[in-house]
Amino acid sequence: MDTIIVGLKRVVDYNVRVQVKSDGTGVETDGVKMSINPFDEVALEEALRIKESGQAKEVIAVSIGDSAAQQQLRTGLAMGADRAILVAADGETDPLTVARVFKALADKEGAGLVLLGKQAIDGDNNQIPQMLAALWDRPQATFASQIVIEGDTAKVIREVDAGLETIEVDLPAVISADLRLNEPRYVKLPDIMKAKKKPLDEINLADLGVDAAPAIKEVSYAPPEERKKGIAVDDVPALVAALKDKGLV
Amino acid sequence: MSKILIIAEHDGKTLNPSTAKCVACAAAIDSAEIDVAVFAANAAELAAEAAAIASVNRVLTVERAENEQSLSAILAPQIVALASDYSHVFGPSTTFGRDLMPRVAALLGVNQVSDIMSVAGSHSFKRPVYAGNAVVTVEAPADVKLVATVRVASWQAPAGGNSAGIESAAIDVELPGHTRFVELAAGDTGRPDLQTATRVVAAGRAIGSEENFDLVYKLADVLGAGVGASRAAVDAGYCPNDMQVGQTGKIIAPDLYIAVGISGAIQHLTGIKDAGTIVAINKDEEAPIFEVADIGLVGDLFAVLPELTEAL
């Protein structure tokens, strides 16, 4: 295959303990560390390994968002992506519209594979890869923990509730990455310098002929219900007594 | 009135309890008429199980050889054909439903509400975001179909004893051949299923090895408990992936959850916050797991586990 497209979403770093804004309009993002969605980083790493094994010629990193997402695309270029595309959008774009963007790009670039993270750790929707596969009328292999490209097909091991499922899909296809697929590489300083010279194009939804989908409105945010403060016990007999007291053993 | 179609999850032999949880969620919508669709190669026994769930109006069976495995690319076009009479289509937020429902939503041209925790109206729901660190109330447009997944840990299975009618539905749509099932490697542990167990014992990286995990299995067997693990323990190869509890693993709600040597990263805590009682055993008294634990014991798991197993 020639081209692999990878999506990189800019999200609140996974180590940040997010706080709901006091007016309930969202979560606090001012001054908060932002990173590439961890699942997307795994997807990019996998795309790079496929390219390095000689089974693809080019890896394109795509992000949808405001100009701040250039930072995540530059990191993706430093990891090894050949070029990047920023699709300009203000605020959060709904999953179906994002899937339409990837569909338009997959057609335009003639992608043989679109590799995405299985979910973004902010919205936790877990929708875009499956939606893209539907719109593109191509196979989906979600929650991948191993990908083997064999000519025009891919054999994918999927992490499912019952264990590990293996499926075979014809290419082009959409694959969504789970965390155990690989360990993403660290970016080295010379690569960051090189990445500055790689192409990063900016386009907008209209350039791709994409209409926004009917969105689901976010009415208000609230913190989750807190659990009541617990008790500390000193030893196993006290633990057993506490469990008996609650009628649990 | 809302007409809700629920896509049954099963392994070809029995219905997954997630199906009844979806019915519970649908029944929380005022004056809902609830049908359950069973896609299978042989649907009779599965349909009978679904027909017994309280609040179910009708069970529709779609029997095709291609439905022997639950492949989303195969199921989605059939669901879309069946969905024309319905205002809502629900599936469980298990790996089955998470894989399937967005494909259905996209074919219907709508966005999806993922992980319904509670119902505020026919098109208004609460769902967790940011690994459960925030809960957002969403409102879906009422003039298009509503596709959603149900966060199974948030719902109690309704009673049985119903006897809804069962009808077979003939769906004549062309199915793609581009996706093929190869195999499923499932570990049959003989222990209760994590997602439905009333008691769960789970261990983290501190357990140290696959062999040491026996200490956890022994305690679990005394309690009749399912066994879970943190992502760190799975990554380290101490146990299989299907035991992972958390944001990217299973979301569970047992009556009793015993966390052994689990520090309590937010990504893990989101998987257990609906547990009835959380017991934490950890040698680090500063471990964040103690902030959510109902009963905390600071101690060395290699001493505590055998002693606790003996005492119960």
Give the domains, in start order, of chain B with CATH numbers: 2-168 (3.40.50.620), 199-311 (3.40.50.1220)
Give pLDDT, residue B1: 86
The label of the residue with tokens 């042989």 reads B42
CB pairs under 8 A between A and B: 255
The two beta strands, B124-129 and B118-121, are: antiparallel
Q: Which is it for the CA torsion A201, A42, A155, B97, positive or negative?
A: negative
Burial of residue A30, with CB atoms counted within 10 A of its CB: 0-12 exposed, 13-18 middle, 19 or more buried: exposed
Which residues of chain B neighbour A238 with C-beta distances below 8 Å? 297
Across the interface, do A162 and B184 touch by the CB < 8 Å criterion? yes
DSSP annotation string for B103-155: HHHHHHT--EEEEE-EEEETTEEEEEEGGGTEEEEEE--TTS-EEEEE-GGG-
**Two structure tokens written together for B214:** 């026996």
Chain A residue with the nearest C-alpha to that of B132: A224
Which residues of chain B neighbour A135 with C-beta distances below 8 Å? 106
Mutate to test the interface with B, among A136, A216, A231, A244 (most CBs of B within 10 A): A216
Chain A residue with the nearest C-alpha to that of B120: A219
**Two structure tokens written together for A168:** 């075979």
Q: What is the DSSP letter of A121?
A: T
What are phi and psi for residue B99, nearest 5 degrees? Answer: -75, -40
Q: Considering only the beta carbons, identify the residue of B96, B111, B247 that sits closest to A96.
A: B111
Which residues of chain B neighbour A25 with C-beta distances below 8 Å? none
Listed residue (A8, A10, A62, A64) closest to A205, CA to CA? A64
Which residues of chain B neighbour A249 with C-beta distances below 8 Å? 223, 256, 312
Chain A residue with the nearest C-alpha to that of B225: A249
List the pLDDT tens digit at each of the 312 positions of chain B: 899 999 999 999 999 999 999 999 999 999 999 999 999 999 999 999 999 999 999 999 999 999 999 999 999 999 999 999 999 999 999 999 999 999 999 999 999 999 999 999 999 999 999 999 999 999 999 999 999 999 999 999 999 999 999 999 989 899 999 999 999 998 777 899 898 899 999 999 999 999 999 999 999 999 999 999 999 999 999 999 999 999 888 999 999 999 999 999 999 999 999 999 999 999 999 999 999 999 999 999 999 999 999 999
What are phi and psi for residue B79, nearest 5 degrees? Answer: -65, -40
Please state the ipTM of this predicted complex: 0.95
Q: What is the pLDDT of residues A43-101, one digit of tens each?
A: 999 999 999 999 999 999 999 999 999 999 999 999 999 999 999 998 889 999 999 99
Give pLDDT, residue A229: 82
Q: Considering only the beta carbons, identify the residue of A18, A125, A159 that sits closest to B134.
A: A18
Q: Considering only the beta carbons, identify the residue of B129, B176, B255 that sits closest to A123.
A: B129
Cα separations (Å) of A201 from A5, A63, A116, A192?
Answer: 14, 11, 20, 18
Across the interface, do A124 and B256 touch by the CB < 8 Å criterion? no
Across the interface, do A220 and B94 touch by the CB < 8 Å criterion? no
Neighbours of A28 (CB within 10 A): 13
Give pLDDT, residue B188: 73
Across the interface, do B178 and A138 touch by the CB < 8 Å criterion? yes
Give pLDDT, residue A228: 84
Which residues of chain A neighbour B290 with C-beta distances below 8 Å? 230, 232
Which residues of chain A neighbour B240 with C-beta distances below 8 Å? 163-164
Q: Considering only the beta carbons, identify the residue of B109, B278, B295 that sits closest to A239.
A: B295
Mutate to test the interface with A, among B71, B98, B182, B269 (most CBs of A within 10 A): B98
Which residues of chain B neighbour A147 with C-beta distances below 8 Å? none
Mutate to test the interface with A, among B14, B111, B174, B270 (most CBs of A within 10 A): B111
Neighbours of B251 (CB within 10 A): 23
Listed residue (B255, B292, B260, B259) closest to B273, CA to CA? B292
CATH 3.40.50.620 matches A3-245: yes
The two beta strands, B134-139 and A217-222, are: antiparallel
Across the interface, do A239 and B297 touch by the CB < 8 Å criterion? yes
Give pLDDT, residue B141: 96
* Residues of chain A with confidence (pLDDT) below 50: none
- The shortest C-alpha distance from B60 to chain A (Å) reads 24
The size of chain B, in residues, is 312
Listed residue (A152, A128, A156) closest to A141, CA to CA? A156
Q: How far apart, in whole angstroms, are the C-alpha atoms of residue A228 and residue B264?
A: 16
Q: Are A97 and A41 in contact (CB under 8 A)?
A: no
Listed residue (B26, B134, B145) closest to B88, CA to CA? B145
Q: How far apart, in whole angstroms, are the C-alpha atoms of residue A33 and residue A231?
A: 34
